[in-house]
Structure 1
């Protein structure tokens, strides 16, 4: 039997809709910078709601409007039609999150949540961007690493590797040795090179409208064009970069709230279903779950639901999953 916390969520949606919808018209798609939370807190941002209009476009178009990833929007709204969302339906826009359990400096990328967090030096803020990462299989997987930015280039050329050219050729596409800058270049207008692995991994833009917040690349990290432009302008060479792969994040907030945010784990094999892949808990997370202050059953439901949004799991019980 489901907890009342999960059953009550749609009621909270409807009760909040009148208040939230009035603010949506003024909500800019690029508003992805947040003040850092106070000491001991990891919670940033606020979720929003979107009412699908007639001919309201695809889920990808809505994701782009609010600058969130496609899969993040899909996980937050299970059952929604990704191609033609039903007019009148209310979508949750997942713009609230827990900061990753990593140093708040430079660039922190969590592959499992398909987001990158940028902590600009000397500022008490963090900017969050949705990303596309490497596809499943072989040399296309984006690896975890601790590295730094080694180079930045505007209007980059693309030199596809032999493996990439072979994959394209198998689909009937013969790539040139070098793709010049321009509208046909899949790297977009800006590229940021990482030092690790001989510099083969980059953050770059795209000439496609689809794929941000998905596993679509040949191993590099893909951002929407406006996002990589902003990151390119602000982030200097030498910036530390940490790439992690964590499907679950927990936090005990200063006010006593115990929060858990669960994403679908990345598949390791073609037959894997990320909706049901086991989520491995660290020893610290096991202690969080078994603590008397945590409702372990609600946390278990959150691990099954995998909404990608912070869920309150306090043992005393509050009838809501929305923070």
Structure 2
């Protein structure tokens, strides 16, 4: 039974058949028990009701249920990001397929804008939404590194190029932004490699978006949790996999498709969908006799970011 880790100032307690949500105003990672051998499917999707006379933006619901904005937008096409309609329903994508990687340390999948943390000595995985590097300042991909150090109260030193970009917009950036609540890195930083960090934020938006200078951004409660629990030396793997799939122990086949990240400025600014990377392994998976081809095509087109059972003759999301 997945459960939502309690954040600070928790004030809501909502009960669902499969797990308990302990809801914070600020942020909540979701803790899942690891599935049995041969399985990578965890969690269950949740449907919530938008209150009558709603005054909150979609970001508020995303933060309350431990999601990034992109996760909520994929699961709820057409939703008003500024003001979801009162009385409507929202799908919270709390079911997912674990990335096909070693279950160790931190795994970041930039395509789905999620960070997976496998605490040593436990049988759980913590899933946290993230913001990543904007187009032209991408977060590194296909990289294995480690936590080099941690900093309580990081100082931000913008690059000369960053300062020039701000200047073009009429903004002046100092050579150094001191630690404190106005620092864009937030109150905690976990440095990976030489040039990048997993850090907090001084804003109330940007999680689930491409907004950073290349670093990995988390909501403040989430970075505090990682800062307190992730040791220096922890393995960190960054991947870019918009398509995840799994054959479960019962033989069912599941497919989870996210919008791929744009590969260049033209794709970023275009209204056209970015092509999905179809690897030989994926092609073999979706062409089997035991899959529902029409459902596969729907999933590849829809890109809901949620696992779908594509088995022939089987029911599923």
Whole-angstrom distance in 2 between the partners of 1:158 and 1:22: 41
Whole-angstrom distance in 1 between the partners of 2:88 and 2:54: 12
Count of matched residue pairs:
295
Q: Could you report, residue by residue, the CA deviation over 1:196-215 in whole angstroms, capped at 9, with x for unpaired residues?
A: xxx11100000100000110
Q: 2:198 aligns with which of 203, 214, 217?
A: 203
The structural deviation recorded for 1:296 is 2.3
The structural deviation recorded for 1:56 is 4.2
Whole-angstrom distance in 1 between the partners of 2:98 and 2:116: 8
If the length of structure 2 is used for normalisation, what is the TM-score? 0.90
Where do 1:50-89 residues align within 5 Å?
Answer: 50-53=48-51, 54-89=53-88
The structural deviation recorded for 1:269 is 2.4
The structural deviation recorded for 1:80 is 0.8
User: Which consecutive segments of 4 or more residues in structure 1 shift more than 4 A?
Assistant: none
Whole-angstrom distance in 2 between the partners of 1:23 and 1:100: 25
Q: Could you report, residue by residue, the CA deviation over 1:37-95 in whole angstroms, capped at 9, with x for unpaired residues?
A: 00000011221111111224100111011110001101100011111111010100011
Q: 1:184 aligns with which of 169, 182, 185?
A: 182
Go from structure 1 to structure 2 and tell me whether the alpha carbon gap of 1:277 and 1:31 turns closer, same or farther (over 3 Å shift): closer
Go from structure 1 to structure 2 and tell me whether the alpha carbon gap of 1:218 and 1:23 turns closer, same or farther (over 3 Å shift): same
Q: Which one is further off, 161-170 or 185-194?
A: 161-170
Where do 1:161-176 residues align within 5 Å?
Answer: 161-176=159-174
Q: CA RMSD in A?
A: 1.6
Alignment-derived partner of residue 231 in structure 1: 226
Q: 1:292 aligns with which of 284, 289, 306?
A: 289
Q: Residues 44 and 96 of structure 1 are in contact (CA less than 8 Å); yes or no, is this contact kept in structure 2?
A: yes
Q: Residues 265 and 274 of structure 1 are in contact (CA less than 8 Å); yes or no, is this contact kept in structure 2?
A: no
SS at match of 2:126: strand
Alignment-derived partner of residue 262 in structure 2: 267
Alignment-derived partner of residue 156 in structure 2: 158
Is 1:27 aligned to residue 37 of structure 2? no
The structural deviation recorded for 1:157 is 0.8
Q: Could you report, residue by residue, the CA deviation over 1:166-224 in whole angstroms, capped at 9, with x for unpaired residues?
A: 111111111111111112100011000012xxx11100000100000110101000000
The structural deviation recorded for 1:270 is 2.7
Whole-angstrom distance in 2 between the partners of 1:288 and 1:26: 34
Whole-angstrom distance in 1 between the partners of 2:138 and 2:230: 25
Unaligned runs of 5+ in 2: 1-13
If the length of structure 1 is used for normalisation, what is the TM-score? 0.88
Whole-angstrom distance in 2 between the partners of 1:43 and 1:219: 30
Q: Residues 292 and 310 of structure 2 are in contact (CA less than 8 Å); yes or no, is this contact kept in structure 1?
A: yes
Whole-angstrom distance in 2 between the partners of 1:248 and 1:314: 17
Q: Residues 107 and 116 of structure 2 are in contact (CA less than 8 Å); yes or no, is this contact kept in structure 1?
A: yes
Higher helix share: 1
Q: Which one is further off, 51-60 or 62-71?
A: 51-60
Whole-angstrom distance in 2 between the partners of 1:297 and 1:83: 34
Whole-angstrom distance in 1 between the partners of 2:282 and 2:297: 12
SS at match of 1:146: strand
